[in-house]
Structure 1
Amino acid sequence: MAKRGSWIAWATTRRGRWITLGAWVAAAALLMLLLPGVRSQADSNAPNFDESKPSVQAEKLLAEQFRSEEGTPALVVWHREGGLSQDDLKAISAVSADVAASPLPGQRSSLPLHELPPPALAAQLSEDGSTLVWPVVFQPDAPTEEIKQGVEQLRERTEKIAGTPAFEADTADGAELSARLTGPAGISVDATELFSSADVSLMIATVLLVLVFLLAIYRSPVLALIPLVAVGFAYAVTDPLLGYMASKDWIDVDSQAVAIMTVLLFGAGTDYCLFLVSRYRELLAEERSPAAALRAALGSSGGAIAMSGLTVVIALLTLLFAQYGVIKRFAVPFGLSILVMALSSLTLLPALLSIFGRGSFWPFVPRTPEMAKERARRKGKPAPKRTGRRGPGFTGRLVVRRPWTVTLVSVALLGVLALFSTQVKFTFDILSSFPEEMESRQGFALIGDNFSEGTLAPVTVMAQGEAGAIPPVAEKLQALGSVAKVGEPAEAASQPGLRAWKVELAMNPYSQEAMDALPAIREAAEQAIGGADAADRVWLAGQTAVQYDTREAEAVDQQVIIPLVIVLIAALLLVYLRSVTAMVYLIGTVILSYFAALGLGWLVLHEPMGVDAIQGAIPLYAFVFLVALGEDYNIFMVSSIWKKRRKMPLKQAIAEGVSETGPVITSAGLILAGTFAVLATLPIQVLLQFGLITALGVLLDTFVVRPYLVPALTALLGRRAFWPGELSRVPEDEVPAGGELVKASAERSLNK
C-alpha cells in the first residue's frame, strides 16, 4: 500500500489533490501560451542521413559542381486521350511563358517550352502524341510549404491561361486536357498533405474510440472522461515541449511522427489509467474510505505502472541509435509522451479520482457490503445478498490445471502464424503508400504508360576521369538492361575531368528492382573510368540512390536496435522481478508474439487486401512497439502473481492473478488495439500496414499470450519461475510467513 506520506499518495490528500490539479492546469496553460506547438515545427525536409552516406556525398558534389543540374524537380504531365491538339500545345506554351516571366515561389528553372520550335516541341510528346512532360525545378533547399505554394499558384495560373481546370480534369476519361504534378516535388507535397489531413481526423477518431470503449467498460460518463482528461493534459504538456525542442533544433519532428504519437499517447495512456482505475474499483467494494482505497490501489498498481512506462520509454529511446532519420525522429516524441503520460497516471489521475471519490463511477457506484445494506435500509428495500469473495475464473483454473495443454496449444498457434512472417515481401516505393487517386501517383502512371518510368526520377552518375577525355561511361551504362536512356555528359564547374550523366532507368525508380540495379550501374561507371581507385571516383545521386541508402540503413537499424531493445527490457525485467527465469520466458513470449503478429498481418494484408509488399520500416516499428507494449501487460499480470505468491500457494496465486488482471488487460488491450486500428483507416499505406500489424499483435498479446501462455509457463516452472529470487526457495506446498490462506483452502478453490 502507498504510504500516506509518500509523494504518490500525497496527490490524493485533501490539499494535495487540488495542488496537483492546479499544477497540471498551470503547466499546460503556460506551456501552450509560451511555447510553439509541435505541428508548427514539423519539418518535412529534415535530413534522413548524415554526410557519411554515399547519396548525401553525391548530392553535395552535384550541388557544388553542377548547379544547373541541382534542384527538386516537379514534373507536370499534360495529357489528352487521342492526342494533344494544337490549341492544347499553345495553351501549354503560354503557361510555360508565364512561368518563365514570373517564376513560381521557390522555383529555380523550367523547361522553356514556349521557346521551342514546333518540331522540337513535337519531339517532347509521347509516341501517340497524347502526353507531354514539362519539368519545373524548385530550389534544392525550398521547404515543402513553399513548393506547395508554387504548385497552387501553377494550378491557378494554368486554369486562367488555358481556360480550363486541367488539374481537376479526369485522367481516366481523357477526353479533356488534364494536368498532373508528379516527380520528387509533387510526391513531397502529396506526402505532406496526406499526413497533415490525417493528423486532425486521427485525433478525433482516436478520442471518440477511447470514449466509446470507456463508456462500454465502466458505464459511467464521469469515469469515461477522467482518463481522457489525464491523457489530454499529458498531450497538452508534451506538445509544446516537443515544439520548443524542435524550435531550438535539439530534435527534428515530422508529421508522421506526430500522427503516430497521438495514437500512442491515447492508447497507452488510457491503458495506464485503466490499471489504476480497475484496482481502485475493486477496493471500493472492500474499503469504506475512498481515500484509503485509492492509496491501496496506488500501492498495488503504481509500481507496475511506473515500471511499464519506464520499459516503453527506454525501448522507444533506442530509436535514437537509428541511422535512418525517419526512424530516429520517432524516439524523442514517443519517449517523452509516454514519460509525461506515466507521470499523469501517477499524479493527475489519482488527484481526479480523489476529488470525485465514489462519484467517479456514477451511476454504478461500488460500495462495501455494509454500505450497501445501509443504503438499502434508508430506501426501505431488502438488504442485498452478500455473494462472498469470488474465486478464480475459468481461465485462471484452466492454466494451473492443464498447463502443458495450454502451453502447447498457445505455442502451436503462435508458431504457425509466425511461419508466415518468413513470406513477407518488402518495398521502399513511396508512391505505393499513396492512394491511387493522389495526383502524384496518377501523374506517374501516365508517365509509365506513355514514356519510360525512369523519367520520373533519373539517376545522376558522376565520374572523375582524365581532364580533356570523355570516358565511355554512357556506352557502358547503355549496355545495361536496367537503363533506358543516358543523357549527354555535363562538365563540372571547377573540377576538371568530372562529368555527370542523367540516366533514366527502365523501371520504376522507387522500386526494389531499381535499387538492385544501382550496384551494376556503379560498377559499369567504375569500369569505364578505370584505375585501382575507381570506386572512390564514382558517385550516384537521385531518388533511387537515396532509397538504396534507406534500405541499407534500415537493415543496419534492425540489426542494432532489435537486440538493444531486447537487452534493455531484459535488464529492466531482471531488476524489477529479480528472476532470471521469468525474464527469459517473458522476453521469449513477446518475441514469439511479434513474429506471429507479423505473419498474421501479412496474411490479412496480402490475401484479402491484395498488398504485394509492405513498407521496409514496418518490422522495426512493429517490433519496438509490440515488445515494449507487450511487456506492459506482462509486468502488470506477473506483478499480481508475485504479490499473491507471498501470501498463498503458487497455483492459487497464478489462478487469482490471471482472474484479477484478466478484465483490465482485456479492456486495455481492446482500447490499445482499437487506437492502432484507427491508423488502418487512413489512406496512407505505411500507416495502414503499421496500424493493422500492431493492432493484431496487441490482440494476440491480450487474448493468447497474457491470459494463457505466460501463466501456463509460470505454472509449469513452479517455484523455478522465481529463480534466483526469494520466492524460488519457498516450497510450493507452503505459504510464506504471514500468509493469509492455507494450502487446503487454496486447493479446494482451484479444484471446484
Structure 2
Amino acid sequence: MDVNKGLGRYVTGKRGRWVTLLVWLAIAVVLTLALPAVGDQENNNAANLSDAKPSVQAAAIADKEFPSGSSVPALLVLHREGSLQPADLEKLQQLTAQWEANPLPYQTSIPPLHKLPMPALQQQLSKDGSTIVTPVLFSKEADTDQLKESLDRLRADMNKTFNGDLFDPSARGAEDAISARITGPVGIQVDATGLFKNADVSLLLATVLLVLIILLFIYRSPVLAFIPLIAVGFAYMVVGPILGWMAREGWITVDSQGISIMTVLLFGAGTDYCLFLISRFRQLLSTERDKGKALRLAIFGSSGAIAMSGLTVVLSLLSLLLAQYGAYHRFAVPFSLSILIMAVASLTLVPALLAIIGRASFYPFVPRTPEMIAERARKKGKAAPPAKPTRQGFTGRIVVRRPWTVVITTLIVLGTLAGFSSRIEVTYDILSSFPKDMESREGFALIGEQFSPGELAPVQVIVDTKGEAIDLKSQLSKLPYVAQVSEPQQGQHDPNIIAVDVSLTMNPYSLEAMELIPQLREKAQSALHAAGDDAKDRVWIGGQTADQYDTKEAGDRDTSIIIPVVIGLITLLLLGYLRSVVATAYLIGTVILSYFSALGLGWLIIHYGLGADAIAGSIPLYSFVFLVALGEDYNIFMISSIWDKRKRMPLRRAISEGVSETGSVITSAGVILAGTFAVLASLPIQVLVQFGIVTAVGVLLDTFIVRPFLVPAITALLGRAAFWPGKHVEIAEAEEPLASRQA
C-alpha cells in the first residue's frame, strides 16, 4: 500500500495541513456571517399531523363553521384553601370586565363573568367552593412567544388586582391561602417551549464540560482533550448556519427539541469518530519514527471504518424522512447532516490538527518507538528501559478460549433484560413530561381534584346532519365515560353541521381517553338515523384527545415502516463492506438484541428507579434508530480490525488482537457517547430524560457486552463460516509473517 497517496497526503502535508485548517476556518466564518443562525429559525409550533388526519380535518371545519372555536384556550384556575370568598369572585369579575374592555395581547374573547349575578357565579365553583376555572381565549395565529407575552400580562393584572403574587409556588397549601395557575392548551404550550428554550445553553455547556472531563481522565493529555472538541466546534459552526438557511428557505423545519438532541449527538458521536483515528495514530507512533507516516497509516487504516460508520448513521437517520409524524420527520435532516459533516471533519480537520501538533498532541505521555526511547535514555546518561512485553488483553483471550461460555452468558444477560421490554407502558400525555411543580401541571391537577379532569380539554364532536333531526347531546351523554356534553352549536355557513363539546370523566391526555375516540366516532355515526354508507364521512372528532389519538396512529405507522427500512439499509451496507452474509446476520441480530435489552433495562430504571408509570410513546422509535445505527459503529470498527488481521495471522489470534486493539478506544468512545446522552437526564423534560437514559444504557450495553464479548465470541465459534460466502484462508502460526508478529 502507498500511504503517500490519497486523502492522508493532502490533509497532512506541510502545506496541506494549514490549507485544510484555513479552509475549515473560512467556511465556518463565512457561513456564520452569511447565513441565519439555526436558533433564530426554530418553529416550536410546527404541525405534527398532516391535513389528511381526522383531527386536523375537524379543526379546519371548526375554524370555518364555529369561529369562536377557532381560538385556543388558556384555563385560569383560581383556588383558595377552604373556600373562595365573595370578595375573591368580585375581583375576578373586575378582571374579566377589564379584559373585555382592554383585551390582553392576542386575546379573542373572555367569558363575561362580570355580567353574572353573584349566585350564578357561585354555581360555577367546585363542590367544596374552593376553586373556579375560567377560560381565556387567544388567537390560534399567535406563536408561543406572543402567547407568553399575553400570559405575563394576565399574571401582572391578577397580582395587581389581588394585591399579591398568586403564582408564587408557595402560594398554595397554607391555610386560607389564595393562588392561581394557568393551564389548558395555551399554558401547556408555553411551558413546554420554555423548558426547551431554557435547556439549550445549559445542555451545550454540560455536554462540552462532560466530554472534556472524560477525555482528560482517559487520555490524561490536555492537548488531546481539546482536539476532538475543536473539530466538533467547527462542525457545529458549519451545521448550524446551513440548517438555519434551509429552514429560512422553507425546505426543512427545525425546533428546540431537535436542536437539543442534535447537539448531544454531534458531541457524542463526533468525538467517537475523532477517537477512532486518534487511537490508531497513537498506536502507530509507538512503532513509526516518522510521525507523518504514522498519521498517514492511521488515516489509511481507519478511514474506511469511519466512513462506513458515518454512512450507516447518516442513512439510518435519513430514514426518518419516511415518517408521517412531523416531529420524527423534522429530525431527519438536522441529525443526518450533523453526522455527515462531523465524519468529514474527523477525516480532514482532525488529521490536519494532529499533523500540526504531532507527537505533542499526547503530552505529557508522548508515545515513542523503542529506538527513540533508548536514544532519550542515552542522552540523559541512563540505561534504556526494558521493552514492555506485548500481551493480549483479558477480553481478547477469553472470547477465543471459551466462546461458548461467553455467548451463553451474554445471551442470558441480554435476553433477561430484553424480556422486561414487553412490560413497557407508553403514554402520549404531554403533562407527564413536565416537572410536577410546573404551573400548567399544577393547574391541571387542581382541575382533576375539584372538577372533572376532562374539562381541561373537551373532545369536540362535529356531524353533518344533512337535515336530519338528531339528538346528539343525549346520545353521547349516555356513554359511561362522558361527564358532560355541551349544547349543540350550528355552523355559521352550513346549518346542517352541528358540534358539541364532550368532557370525559378521565384525564383527556391519557391513553385510556385516546382509545375512546373510535367509540365516540361510532356513536356519533349511529346517531345519524338516515345515514347511509357515507356516515363515516359525516363525523369529525377534534380536540387534544383526538389529536393525540391521531399522533399515536401516525407513530405506529411510522414505526412499522422505519424500523424495517433501517434494518434493510444497514444490512445492505454491511453486506457491501464485509462481503459476508453470515457476519452481517449476526451483527444485525446482536444490535437488535441489544436494543431490546436497553429498552428493558431503561424501563427498570425509569419505572422502578424514577417512579414513572409510563414512557413517552416516541421513545421506542427514537431509541431504535439511534441505538441500532450507533451500535453498528462499534461493531464495524472492531470487525474491521479482525477482518484486516486475519489476512496476516490465524483467525483466533486475529480475533483476540482485534478485540484487544480496539477495546480501549471503543470503551472510551462508548463512555463519552453514553455520557453525552446521559446529560439529557439532567433536564427537567421527562421525554428527554427517558430518551437519554434508554440511549445511554444501550450504548453501554454495546460497549461493555455486545462489542467486546458477544460479537467476537460468535465469530470465534463460526470460524471460517463467519466469512461465507466469502473465503477465508487460515494462516498457520508457522506461516505468519514476522512483521505481523512484531506489530
Give the TM bin, normalised by the shorter chain. over 0.9
Q: Report how far residue 162 of structure 1 moved.
A: 2.3
Q: Distance in 2 between matches of 1:510 and 1:48?
A: 16
**1:278-677 mapped onto 2 (5 Å cutoff):** 278-388=279-389, 390-467=390-467, 470-530=469-529, 531-532=531-532, 533-677=534-678
CA–CA distance in structure 1, aligned partners of residues 548 and 648 of structure 2: 58
Task: Please tell me the residue identity of whatever aligns with 2:130.
Answer: S
Alpha-carbon deviation of 1:7? 2.9
Shift of 1:741: 6.8
CA drift at 1:735: 8.5
Read off the aligned partner of 2:513 and give its amino acid letter: A
SS at match of 2:682: coil
Asked if 1 retains the 8 angstrom alpha-carbon contact of 2:84 and 2:131, the reply is yes
* 1:206-236, Cα deviation, whole Å (9 max, x unpaired): 1111000000111111111111000111111
Q: 2:391 is paired with a residue of what secondary structure?
A: coil
Deviations, residues 599-622 of structure 1 (Å, cap 9, x unaligned): 111111111221111111100000
Which amino acid counterpart does residue 161 of structure 2 have in structure 1? I
Secondary structure of the structure 1 residue equivalent to 2:711: helix
CA-CA distance at 1:554 after TM superposition: 0.8
Counterparts of 1:403 and 1:634 in 2: how far apart (Å)?
17
Contact 2:78 2:180 in 1 (8 A): yes
Q: How does 1:203-218 map to 2 (within 5 A)?
A: 203-218=204-219
Amino acid at match of 1:480: L
Q: 2:167 is paired with a residue of what secondary structure?
A: helix
Sort the Cα spacing of 1:217 and 1:729 in 2 relative to 1 into closer, same or farther, 3 A: closer
Alpha-carbon distance in 2 for matches of 1:114, 1:377? 96
Structure 1 residues 716-725 or 265-274, which shifts more? 716-725
Could you report, residue by residue, the CA deviation over 1:655-706 in whole angstroms, capped at 9, with x for unpaired residues? 0000000010111111111111111121111111111011111111011000
Q: Distance in 2 between matches of 1:215 and 1:121?
A: 66
Distance between the aligned counterparts of 1:360 and 1:115, measured in 2? 77
Letter in 2 for 1:365: V
Q: 1:77 is paired with a residue of what secondary structure?
A: strand
Q: Which amino acid is the alignment partner of residue 443 of structure 1? A: G
Amino acid aligned to 1:493: Q
Choose 257-266 or 162-171, whichever is displaced more.
162-171
Paired residue secondary structure (1:413):
helix
What SS class does the counterpart of residue 539 from structure 1 fall into? Answer: strand
Alignment of 1:46-445 (within 5 A): 46-168=46-168, 170-173=171-174, 175-388=176-389, 390-445=390-445
2:334, 2:573 → 1: CA distance? 22
Distance 1:27 1:611 in 2: 46
Q: Which amino acid aligns with 2:626?
A: F
Q: CA deviation at 1:523?
A: 1.0
Report the AA paired with residue 91 of structure 1: K
Aligned partners of 1:490 and 1:499 also within 8 Å:
yes
Cα deviation, residue 171, structure 1: 2.4
Once the two structures are TM-superposed, the CA of residue 729 in structure 1 deviates from its matched residue by: 4.0
Contact 1:648 / 1:741 at 8 angstroms: preserved in 2? no
The one-letter code of the counterpart of 2:640 is S
Q: Which amino acid aligns with 2:3?
A: K
Alpha-carbon shift at residue 138 of structure 1 (Å): 1.1
The whole-number CA distance in structure 2 between the counterparts of 1:106 and 1:713 is 64
Report the Cα distance in structure 2 between the residues aligned to 1:178 and 1:96, rounded to whole angstroms. 17
User: Deviation digits for residues 51-82 of structure 1, max 9, x if unmatched?
Assistant: 11111111111111111111111001011011
Q: Secondary structure at the match of 1:347?
A: helix
Q: Which amino acid aligns with 2:434?
A: F
CA contact 2:650–2:730 (8 Å) conserved in 1: no
8 A contact 2:595–2:698 mirrored in 1: yes
TM-score, normalised by the number of residues in structure 1: 0.96
Distance in structure 2 (CA, Å) of the matches to 1:519 and 1:462: 14
Number of equivalent positions: 740
Distance 1:3 1:731 in 2: 27
Deviations 1:174-203 (A, max 9, x none): 632211010011000000001111111111
CA distance in 2 between partners of 1:247 and 1:8 (Å): 37
Q: CA deviation at 1:5?
A: 3.1
Output the CA distance in 2 between the equivalents of 1:106 and 1:370: 77
Once the two structures are superposed, residues 465-511 of structure 1 have per-residue CA deviations (whole angstroms, 9 ceiling, x without a partner) of 133x5412111111111110000011101113110001111100000
Output one character per residue of 1:85-105: Cα deviation in whole Å (capped at 9) or x when no partner.
122112212221222222222
Measure how far apart 1:560 and its partner are. 0.4
- For the 8 Å contact 2:482–2:503, the answer to whether it is kept is yes
Specify the SS of the correspondent of 1:495: coil
Conserved 8 A contact 1:2-1:299: no
Q: Distance in 2 between matches of 1:739 and 1:317?
A: 44
Work out the CA distance in 1 between the residues paired with 2:167 and 2:115.
23
Q: What is the identity, as a one-letter code, of the residue corresponding to 1:231?
A: V
**Residues 739 and 570 (structure 1 numbering): CA distance in 2 closer, same or farther, change over 3 Å?**
farther
1:130-186 superposed Cα distances (whole Å, 9 cap, x missing partner): 111110111112111111111111112222222111122522336322110100110
Tell me whether 103-112 or 646-655 shows the greater mean CA deviation: 103-112
1:740 positional shift:
4.4
Kept in 2, the 8 Å contact 1:718–1:732? The answer is no
> Deviation string for 1:563-611 (max 9, x for gaps)?
1000000000011111111110000000000001101111111112211
Amino acid aligned to 1:323: Q
TM superposition shift of 1:739 = 4.4
Per the alignment, residue 710 of structure 1 pairs with 711
- Cα deviation for residue 732 of structure 1 reads 5.9
Q: Structure 2: how far apart are the matches of 1:480 and 1:195? A: 39
Counterpart Cα distance in 2 of 1:364 and 1:729: 39
Q: Shift in Å at residue 33 of structure 1?
A: 1.4
Following the alignment from structure 1 to structure 2, what is the Cα–Cα distance between the partners of residues 483 and 427?
21
* C-alpha separation in 2, matches of 1:616 and 1:19: 48
Residue identity opposite 2:408 in structure 1? L
Distance 2:107 2:157 in 1: 15
Q: Are 1:4 and 1:10, in contact at CA under 8 Å, matched by a contact in 2?
A: no
Contact 1:2 1:298 in 2 (8 A): no
Paired AA for residue 85 in structure 2: S
* Structure 1 residues 639 and 89: alpha-carbon distance in aligned structure 2, compared to 1, 3 A threshold: same
User: 1:382 Cα deviation (Å)?
Assistant: 2.4
**C-alpha distance in 1 between matches for 2:55 and 2:321:** 21
Which residue matches 1:18? 18
Name the CA distance, whole Å, in 2 between partners of 1:223 and 1:450: 60
Contact in 1 for aligned 2:459/2:503 (Cα 8 Å): yes
Distance 1:735 1:711, change over 3 A: farther
Partner SS state of residue 435, structure 1: coil
State the AA in 2 paired with 1:520: Q
In structure 1, what is the Cα distance between the partners aligned to 2:543 and 2:582? 51
The aligned residue for residue 37 of structure 1 is 37
For structure 2, list consecutive stretches of 5 or more residues without a partner in the other structure: none
